[in-house]
Amino acid sequence: MKKLLISTLLLCSCISPEMTKRTLESAGYSDIKTGGYAWMACSEDDTFHTEFTAKNPKNQEVSGVVCCGLFKNCTIRF
């Protein structure tokens, strides 16, 4: 039970709503809503895996993941 609790706490800390919002806004996205941890959506070099929904620059609703590493920039994946 303790291992499950520790694992859950570690995964919850691997999202970054602030970096996700900043990354998407700089790419022209709006109406951004961040979600939780995105399982297996990013590379092993990425520390943060944050799901999102937003409107793209063409005002279409999209969803995806923002992947960020400690020593690299963030990328948007769909």
- The structure's pTM equals 0.80
Domain with 54, as residue range(s), is: 2-77
pLDDT given at position 78:
95
Provide the percentage of residues in the chain whose pLDDT is more than 90: 72
Number of domain units in the chain = 1
For the beta carbon of residue 42, count every other beta carbon within 10 angstroms.
22
pLDDT greater than 80 at residue 8: no
Q: What are phi and psi of 23, to 5 degrees?
A: -65, -45
9-35: per-residue pLDDT in tens? 444 458 889 999 999 999 999 999 999
